[in-house]
Amino acid sequence: MATTLDVETERDEFERLVDGVTLAGDDREGIEVVASFTGEPLATIPAGTAEDVTEAVERAREAGKRWADRPVAERAAVFEGLAELILDRQAGMLDVIQAETGKARLDAFEEVIDVAGTARYYAAEGPGMLAPAKRRGAIPLATRVEERHHPVGVVGIISPWNYPLALTVSDAIPALLAGNGVVLKPDEHTSFTALKARELLIEAGLPEDLFQIVTGEGVEVGPPLIDSVDYLTFTGSTETGRAIAEQCGRNLIDCSLELGGKNPMLVLDDADLGKAVRGAVVGSFNNAGQLCLAAERIYVHESLREEFTERFVAATESLTLGTGTDWGIDVGSLISAEHLGRVEDHVDDAVEKGATVLTGGQARPEVGPYVYEPTILTDVTDEIALCTEETFGPVTAIYGVESEAEAIERANDTDYGLNASVYTEDSERGREVAARIEAGTVNVNDAYVASYGSVDAPMGGFKDSGVGRRHGREGLLKYTEAQTIAEQRTGPNAPPGPVPNEWYAKGMTALMRLLNRSPF
């Protein structure tokens, strides 16, 4: 029997978190947060205003000036501490994540590991990335050039509800390490996870004013936040991302946007079906499919399609649904009644237009108010919305293909390009196929963890799946202003007074020809 969360205990904890950090006063209206496990109210968050945003940005900016003056090794030490602290305090963090999102405990644990890994990586590698670096000068030996990186100022983060810890803290870590202040606007469904995470950051040694949180509705808090900060990071829908990019463009600030996906999985004719079925289960149903990287289109070579389908359906039907803290639960709840309705509409529309449900396809209110069965469909044609639009739930569709070329063509026939996976026993073939898929991350014989968990490599989307990258060098340096300092040791690069311009041009031409022949 699954262990349930004590809603009353969690409510007390959430009210304490709000009292400790919010900028909004008692006269602010409240927004009710609901427990996805039960549909019951948990607590309320303040409905932030533009004035709250202004105050938060001012605090973060002032704190950021002092923070940027600290040696980068001292800043990195905070995140070394966080990497251990988040593991030590994981039980309480998992409870908060689950109470707000309704996800399975193992899915919540995935967020804890993500933050610990990101903190450890940037604490170790970030100082070297931020260190001044020599660059090749215009004239060898005569020109000395150095590249430096300065913080942009204040970074705004607008984070989603599906990974409320990972997609707040893991994005904030490089921004903070680079010397910036951060103002976070978390999703209204999951603000308490962000508040709990802020406490851990402060306990790890982060200055209290450096990381501000303003809760509230996106339409109220988002626009003034974008108007106030120096860089904006957003994870969410493509539609909202376009509006944010437009506002950032008007303000001449840079942004990083991870947006929607309709991710393909390719099962080639030489795939190991055991690996492919496990990958399909993980890729389709982790976090109840509420994952931008989820596999929603599975293209299987016709020679394997029947056996793959049988094994995938059997594996899916063996999954345990539940709403509680038991580690044995495989698939938890969707986030809300509204989101459940969208998933139901997608599946119902597909069935009405001729799709076949192989397993699942129903809500399970006896398990939890927003629980939906892991669902596999076939016979999904191009005119069905589920074929091309992101469902963002525990729903995937199987399509047969006759060749590798057809699989690649159909995988790329989408406006999105976030994640993909390829299953084959030929490593070289897998990597070559992966390189032909138009997606920011492509995994061979894995669903998404291989790429996303490799924090040293960039992660982001092609096409309508976004701009910018998180992780790796790109994920840190995007939060900086690059500066070039060039010293000319022989004086200005211009004709010396007594030398005619023509002679100077001839001399520079000879020098350039010499440099063109140089191996350096």
Task: Specify the 3-state DSSP secondary structure of 441.
Answer: strand
- pLDDT-derived band at 359 (thresholds 50, 70, 90) equals very high
Q: What is the pLDDT of residues 29-59, one digit of tens each?
A: 789 999 999 999 988 899 999 999 999 999 9
Q: What is the pLDDT confidence band of residue 26, given thresholds at 50, 70 and 90? A: low
Centre a 10 Å sphere on the Cβ of residue 480 and count the other Cβ atoms it contains.
20
Contacts of 105 (CB under 8 A, 6+ apart): 94, 98, 325, 326, 327, 329
Same domain, 165 and 215: yes
For residues 54 and 155, state if they share a domain. Answer: yes
Q: Residue 298: beta bridge partners?
A: 265, 398
Same domain, 199 and 268: no
The reported pLDDT for the residue numbered 1 is 36
CA distance 271 to 460: 27
The model's confidence at residue 512, banded by pLDDT at 50, 70 and 90, is confident
Structural domain includes residue 446: yes
- The residues, any chain, with a CB within 8 Å of residue 302's CB and separated by 6 or more, are 400, 401, 402
Look up the CATH number of the domain holding residue 119. Answer: 3.40.605.10
Residue 504 lies in a domain: no
pTM of this structure: 0.94
Distances (CA, A) of 54 to 14, 212, 225: 24, 11, 8
Mean pLDDT within 314-342: 97
- Residue 462 in any domain: the answer is no
Q: Domain of residue 49: give its range.
A: 7-259+473-477
Q: Which residue has the tokens 């010499």?
A: 514
402-432 burial, b if ≥16 CB within 10 A, otherwise e? Answer: eebeebbeebbebebbbbbbbbbeeeeebee
- C-alpha 144/C-alpha 62 separation (Å) is 34
* Mean pLDDT confidence for 16-31: 65
What are the structure tokens assigned to 427, written together? 């490593």
User: Do residues 298 and 435 both lie within one domain?
Assistant: yes
Same domain, residue pair 286 and 177: no
How far is 518 from 24, CA to CA, in rounded Å? 64
* d(C-alpha 268, C-alpha 273), whole Å: 10
- Structural domain contains residue 506: no
Q: Residue 490: inside a domain, yes or no?
A: no
Q: How far apart are CA 29 and CA 126, in angstroms?
A: 41
Same domain as 205, residue 231: yes
Are 348 and 441 members of one domain? Answer: yes
Catalytic residues: 258, 292
- Domain membership of residue 466 (yes or no) is no
Report yes or no: 135 and 124 within 8 Å, Cβ to Cβ: no
* Angle formed at CA 332 by CA 329 and CA 336, multiple of 5 degrees: 165
Same domain, 80 and 212: yes
Q: Is residue 329 part of a domain?
A: yes
Question: Does residue 501 sit within a domain?
Answer: no
Cβ-contact 168, 189 below 8 angstroms: no
> How many degrees, rounded to 5, is the angle at CA 118 between CA 116 and CA 123?
95
Kindly state whether residues 39 and 56 are assigned to the same domain.
Answer: yes
Name the one residue in this structure whose structure tokens are 């950090």: 21
| Residue 55 phi, psi (nearest 5) | -65, -40
Same domain, 253 and 329: no
Q: How far apart are CA 238 and CA 244, in angstroms?
A: 10
Q: What is the pLDDT of residues 70-85, one digit of tens each?
A: 999 999 999 999 999 9
- Average pLDDT in the chain: 94
CATH code where residue 314 lies: 3.40.309.10
> How many folded domains does the chain comprise?
2
How far apart CA 391 and CA 339 sit, in angstroms, is: 10
Q: Are residues 210 and 344 in the same domain?
A: no
Reported as a single tens digit per residue, the pLDDT across 83-120 is 999 999 999 999 999 999 999 999 999 999 999 999 99
248 and 326 share a domain?
Answer: no
